[in-house]
């Protein structure tokens, strides 16, 4: 769903345009029986641009267009990553799917690829055209155009799956009752086949990104969901507990929660309660494509703490709630921001029949099948190389009929986690003991012409004395020195986490026998390898940078602001007959009435002998405009006023010290029991060098 701030005025079609509404675009059917003739939901001119793109460009051209346009709406509507949220769901070739709020068809595209039929409901005719044109080659899509409440009675009651992706939060816009979300869900349940599933993707009201400084996705304001939407608006998101309450009120007994990461819009991973993220996994948190954002803290470190304390389900940025039977899949990771030759999906599944857990790697393109099928050969070659070494290779089997590679799920702790644990407690001896064992193992049979180029620490599981390689996707049939493989592992390890910068890299290079020049050559080769993997595509980080959205470091801004506040206050000391003391002083904030003008009212009782005003904590020039004690002017004479600066002329001083002060001898003036000293002055900061030059010039002059 698009954000509220981008909605434009309703678009009303003329009678002639209504008569020309196309009932077919390619193979896609459009149904206008409930269409009022007005698009009440619109993004404005960008929809015309999107329509032009999908009319004139093929899907394979979308990535290049996204990179060229540097536009959030174009990225949002055309990115292939949008479909990740439903791509992994168990949709069979005989399944009938209902999609509510189909928009411009990013989700429809994936559903139609998997299901027997997809029935879409969409309020906007223009968005329906975009959907139809981008999916014109599919003959299993029907789009109902119009208001959901008008269309709903005509929908069938036997859908295998109902998808509400970014839709449920707008329930009060669809359903005008006292309990719109419960009533919305109850209506959807009427259209579900027995044993079917309803899928709801929605932002978490308490998502960590909102605490960390991202704007709320729907109403462009900070902290609004955390505060309970005090500004109103038609969208409402929920916590997990809030959604569960709605489910309970609707009589839902069977459901499961999944956690798309970084969020459901561009998910690269989907976790579940059966396979939650581990500390160190959630590193891709800067995802502000459509807004500038604040950086209030490092989300990775907070996620690590949240995960350790078992609270990830509370702070996940998004939820994917599946009403109905839980899926066998408990974890999904997508690698489809790569070249199409290497695009794949990794799944962890629980197999009810055997009670075991397995891992599958599934190609997402025709071109990637060869890459996945090659893993079986890589497994056999690596087993041969490391036979007798103590380094085990996770077994691979191929199912060419279903088109995936399958592996047993290995238990243990990644070498990366073990190394991190050593760094956390400064156990460098333990760190190097693990590293040396790693280097010993990967150096086995080094002349054998097979190498896993991606033998990074995260790809090795340690279970007691058993070390197992669990991912060998990038195996090459050639010789690469163990030193280069180990260097790359360390390079990736340090690059992913700034806390690992405490490592003495020179010591590691010396341990591997690598010179600085050789290390630079290895880094260049790594850059070329990454280009091979990504192809010509930009990363999501590069796309975000091209859009120009900024991340504002609030700690840095706060430090600057605090420094400014500290510079714009004065400190007042009181001499009550025993000299000036720090414990008999106070600060006067908010004394600046203009950029350089200060006005202060200082209250004195009758026992104060003198007052010292420190106007700044730096070298400066001060011009006293006027000083009054109880509305009587204080003469600018040495009898009444002294400074630790140099007098340029009466009432005007220059200070070359970080502690300038102006002493006013109030005991020389008429005093009452309670007194008010009023001071007006102008202050101009100058550098110490300039202040010294000015003081020297004054000395010569006088």
> What six digits make up the tokens of 534?
């990504």
Q: Give the integer Cα–Cα distance in Å for 348 and 543.
A: 30
pLDDT of residue 417: 94
Q: Give the integer Cα–Cα distance in Å for 601 and 425.
A: 54
DSSP string, 197-259: EEEEEEEBTT-HHHHHTPBPTTT--BTTTTTT-TT--S---B-HHHHHHHHHHTT---EEEEE
CA–CA distance from 504 to each of 38, 415, 501 (Å)? Answer: 65, 19, 8
Q: Which residues contact 180 (CB under 8 A, 6 or more apart)?
A: 171, 172, 174
* Phi, then psi, of 588 in degrees rounded to 5: -115, 100
Pairs from 18-27 (Cβ < 8 Å, separation ≥ 24):
21/125, 22/129, 22/132, 25/129, 25/132, 25/133, 25/136, 26/132, 26/133, 26/135, 26/136, 26/137, 26/138, 27/136, 27/137, 27/138, 27/139, 27/141
Q: Are 291 and 215 in contact (CB under 8 A)?
A: yes
Mean pLDDT of the chain: 92
Calculate ∠ Cα 538-542-543, nearest 5°. Answer: 80
Q: Are 391 and 467 in contact (CB under 8 A)?
A: yes
Helix, strand, coil fractions of the chain, as percent rounded to 5 = 35, 25, 40
Three-class SS state of 574: strand
> What six digits make up the tokens of 97?
């799917």
With CA atoms as reference, report the closest residue to 643 among 698, 588, 566: 698
Q: Which residues contact 130 (CB under 8 A, 6 or more apart)?
A: 47, 50, 51, 54, 77, 104, 105
Number of neighbouring beta carbons within 10 Å of residue 216: 26
* Phi, then psi, of 639 in degrees rounded to 5: -60, -30
pLDDT of residue 504: 87
Classify each residue of 643-657 as buried b or exposed e, where b means 16 or more C-beta atoms within 10 Å of its C-beta: bebbbbeebbbbbbe
Which secondary structure element, helix H or strand E, spans residue 39, and what is its range?
A: strand 38-39
Q: Are 42 and 8 in contact (CB under 8 A)?
A: yes
Q: Are 699 and 646 in contact (CB under 8 A)?
A: yes
pLDDT tens-digit readout, 574-587: 999 999 999 999 99
Beta bridge partners of 164: 200
pLDDT of residue 2: 39
* Phi, then psi, of 238 in degrees rounded to 5: -140, 155
DSSP string, 425-477: TT-HHHHHHHHHHHHHHHTTTTTSS-EETT--GGGEEEETTEEEE---TTEES
Q: Give the integer Cα–Cα distance in Å for 413 and 392.
A: 15
Beta bridge partners of 350: 357
Radius of gyration of the chain (CA): 34
pTM reported for the whole predicted model: 0.85
* Phi, then psi, of 663 in degrees rounded to 5: -100, 130
Q: Which residues contact 241 (CB under 8 A, 6 or more apart)?
A: none
Phi/psi region, residue 44 (left: phi>0; alpha: psi -120 to 50; beta: rest), is left
Phi/psi region, residue 217 (left: phi>0; alpha: psi -120 to 50; beta: rest), is alpha
Classify each residue of 173-211 as buried b or exposed e, where b means 16 or more C-beta atoms within 10 Å of its C-beta: bbbeeeebbbbbbebbbebbbeebbbbbbbbbbbbbbbe
DSSP string, 155-180: S-S-EEEEEEES-GGGHHHH--SSSH
Q: Give the integer Cα–Cα distance in Å for 291 and 314.
A: 24
* Intervals of the chain under pLDDT 50: 1-6, 702
pLDDT tens-digit readout, 411-443: 999 999 999 999 999 999 999 999 999 999 999
């Amino acid at each position: 769903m698009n954000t509220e701030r981008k909605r434009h005025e309703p678009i009303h079609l003329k009678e002639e345009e209504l008569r020309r509404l196309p009932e077919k675009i390619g193979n896609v059917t459009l149904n206008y029986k409930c269409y009022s003739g007005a698009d009440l939901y619109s993004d404005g001119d960008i929809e015309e641009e999107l329509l032009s793109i999908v009319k004139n460009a093929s899907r394979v051209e979308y990535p290049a267009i996204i990179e060229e346009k540097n536009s959030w709406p174009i990225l949002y509507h055309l990115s292939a990553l949008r479909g990740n949220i439903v791509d992994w769901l168990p949709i069979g070739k005989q399944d009938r799917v209902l999609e509510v709020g189909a928009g411009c068809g990013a989700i429809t595209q994936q559903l139609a690829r998997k299901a027997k039929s997809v029935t879409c409901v969409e309020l906007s005719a223009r968005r329906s055209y975009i959907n139809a044109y981008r999916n014109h080659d599919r003959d299993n899509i029907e789009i109902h155009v119009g208001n959901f409440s008008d269309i709903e009675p005509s929908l069938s009651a036997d859908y295998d799956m109902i998808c509400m992706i970014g839709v449920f939060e707008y329930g009060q816009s669809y359903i005008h009752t006292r309990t719109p979300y419960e009533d919305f869900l109850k209506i959807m349940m009427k259209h579900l086949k027995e044993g079917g599933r309803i899928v709801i993707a929605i932002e978490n009201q308490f998502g960590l990104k909102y605490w960390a400084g991202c704007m709320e996705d729907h109403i462009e304001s900070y902290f609004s969901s955390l505060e309970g939407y005090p500004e109103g608006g038609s969208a409402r998101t929920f916590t997990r507990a809030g959604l569960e309450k709605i489910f309970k009120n609707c009589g839902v007994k069977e459901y499961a929660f999944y956690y798309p990461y970084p969020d459901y819009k561009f998910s690269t991973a989907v976790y579940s309660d059966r396979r939650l993220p581990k500390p160190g996994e959630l590193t891709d948190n800067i995802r502000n494509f459509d807004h500038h954002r604040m950086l209030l803290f490092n989300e990775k470190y907070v996620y690590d703490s949240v995960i350790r304390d078992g609270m990830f389900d509370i702070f996940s940025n998004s939820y994917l709630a599946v009403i109905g039977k839980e899926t066998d899949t408990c974890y999904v990771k997508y690698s489809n921001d790569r070249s199409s030759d290497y695009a794949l999906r990794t799944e962890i599944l629980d197999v009810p029949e055997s009670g075991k857990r397995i891992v599958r790697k599934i190609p997402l393109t025709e071109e990637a099948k060869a890459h996945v099928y090659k893993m079986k050969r890589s497994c056999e070659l690596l087993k041969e190389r490391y036979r007798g070494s103590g380094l085990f290779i996770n077994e691979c089997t191929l199912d060419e009929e279903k088109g995936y590679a399958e592996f047993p799920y290995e238990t243990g702790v990644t070498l990366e986690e073990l190394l991190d644990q050593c760094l956390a407690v400064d156990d460098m001896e333990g760190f190097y003991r693990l590293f040396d064992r790693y280097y010993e193992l990967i150096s086995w049979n080094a002349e054998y012409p097979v190498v896993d180029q991606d033998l990074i620490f995260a790809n090795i599981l340690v279970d007691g004395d058993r070390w197992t390689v669990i991912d060998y996707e990038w195996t090459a049939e050639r010789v690469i020195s163990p030193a280069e493989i180990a260097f790359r592992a360390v390079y990736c390890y340090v690059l992913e986490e700034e806390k690992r910068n405490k490592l003495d890299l020179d010591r590691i290079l010396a341990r591997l026998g690598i010179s600085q020049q050789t290390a630079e050559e290895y880094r260049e080769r790594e850059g070329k390898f990454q280009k091979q993997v990504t192809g010509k595509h930009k990363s999501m980080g590069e796309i975000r940078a091209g859009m120009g959205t900024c991340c504002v470091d609030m700690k840095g801004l706060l430090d600057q602001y605090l420094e400014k506040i500290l510079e714009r206050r004065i400190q007042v000391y009181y001499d009550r007959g025993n000299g000036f003391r720090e414990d008999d002083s106070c600060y006067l904030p908010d004394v600046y009435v203009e950029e350089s003008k200060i006005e202060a009212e200082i209250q004195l009782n009758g026992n104060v002998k003198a007052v010292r005003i420190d106007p700044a904590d730096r070298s400066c020039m001060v011009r006293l405009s006027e000083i009054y004690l109880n509305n009587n002017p204080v003469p600018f004479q040495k009898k009444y006023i002294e400074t630790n600066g140099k007098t340029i002329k009466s009432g005007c001083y220059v200070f070359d010290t970080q502690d300038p002060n102006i002493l006013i001898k109030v005991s020389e003036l008429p005093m009452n029991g309670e007194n008010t000293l009023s001071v007006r002055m102008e202050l101009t900061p100058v550098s110490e060098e300039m202040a010294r030059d000015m003081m020297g010039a004054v000395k010569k002059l006088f």
